[in-house]
Amino acid sequence: MFEEDYKRRFVFGCDFGTSDYKYGPISLGERPRVMENRGYFPEKSMVAEMLGGGREVVVGDEVTHFLGSGQDLTSRLVYPMRDGIIGAGDEKSWKVIRELLLKSLSEFKPGGIGFKGYYVVASLSAVAPLYMYEKFFSFLDEMAGEGLVHSSTLIPQPLAVAIAHKQTSCVVVESGHGNTQVAPISKAPIRGAVVALNRGGSEANMITAEILKDTGYGDLAKEEKVVRRVKERLGLLPLDLDRAISFARSNKEAVRGIYHIEGTRIRIDLGDYSWARFLIGEIVFNPAHEVFQSYYRRGMPRPSDIRVGDTVFYGMMDMAETVISSVEKCPVELQPLLYSHIILSGGNFCWTAPANLKGVACDSQAKLNHMLREKGIENASVVLSPEPQFAVWRGCIVYGYALPHSYEWSWERMEGWLHHKG
């Protein structure tokens, strides 16, 4: 009983998204803390001068201090989870992950006597290979020796979302910065039916950058954080792209996109090109629409099919076809139940429609419902997770709270607690 009480007080969730790392203990309540899922490898002399030496990789807010240093960011700034999978030999990415774990756990280490380490629940992509589980457990075992970890377990991100929603049979569509996972769940993820897309928020960023170039803001298009802010402030998701563009060209002021960057004198005004705001959301759902062909011809990367290990990440498959493809890999008897519970999760689904554009712009659940109906799926029920960027973390906390201390990790079931010696 003591172990159960202790566990419930010290559950710690870790959600390794492609862009952001969400983390924190159960005591935070509804919202985790967030830091970017990236690390910077400075020159050793810079570390000695600015950080007192010793650390090979810098994570968290400190990364910002190095970005204007004139160093080659492509080799020094590492985003380890771009595809949700880290190569077994990708030493830099693994060093970033270890540092993120260490920093986040140390940030919440309580003082006083009686703390024996956290019960850590870390979530990984549904397509993460076995060696990633082994590597994470090895890091957590190291940190047990530092008094930070008592026990740990790993859980696929879509399953964490299903747990947060208390659904045992559903389809989870988890979309972050770098990729999208569609995972049917019946008590556990049906791994043979998971379909992955090589597409996420990064594609919306790319089209946003092209729009900025076309409207005279080419210098701003080079700054990733500025592009992301413009995407979030000005991007729109159309219910039907052709109708939305037609409406925008006939009602220019209704859709005019203006954004003032806080703390600066920079004011972005898309003017007559404001119809392109609808492209920002559309490319996430259907990059094959003919309107994008001119951008691809001009050099914007076309989302491509890639193979990472044994998993194929599709580039151009639209979102509705991806869901249908995933569900149709499941038993026919189960398919109606899966269509009746489709859960959208991840920051890439955070689209809203201004009141004056109702019926032209929409949110993610209306968009996917519309696309599924066009493909003959009439009875689908799509819901958007509340604060979708935090759904996985919440699922980690719920799972850790409910999973009994005595339920030990099994490599066959891929569930349970791994108890560390410390």
Domains of the chain, by residue range, sit at 2-160+390-419, 201-302
- Token pair of 180, please? 């999208």
Q: What angle do CA 194, 195, 198 make, to 5 degrees?
A: 140
Q: What is the topology classification, in CATH, of domain 2-160+390-419?
A: Nucleotidyltransferase; domain 5 (3.30.420)
> Is the domain 201-302 a CATH 2.60.40.10 member?
no
Phi-psi region of 359 (alpha: psi -120 to 50; beta: other; left: phi over 0): left
* pTM (2 d.p.): 0.87
Q: What angle do CA 203, 378, 185 make, to 5 degrees?
A: 65
Count of residues for the chain?
Answer: 422
Same CATH topology for 2-160+390-419 and 201-302? Answer: yes
CA–CA separation, 37 vs 312, rounded Å? 23
Q: What is the residue-level pLDDT of the chain in tens, covering all 422 positions?
A: 678 999 999 999 999 988 889 999 999 988 999 999 999 888 775 555 555 455 788 898 888 777 654 456 667 888 898 778 898 999 999 999 999 999 999 999 987 778 999 999 999 988 888 999 999 999 999 999 999 999 999 999 999 999 999 998 999 999 988 789 999 999 888 989 999 999 988 899 999 999 999 999 999 998 888 999 999 999 999 999 999 999 999 999 999 999 999 888 999 999 999 999 999 999 999 999 999 999 999 999 999 998 877 778 899 999 999 999 999 999 999 999 999 999 999 888 999 999 999 999 999 999 999 999 999 999 999 999 988 889 999 999 999 999 999 999 999 999 999 999 86
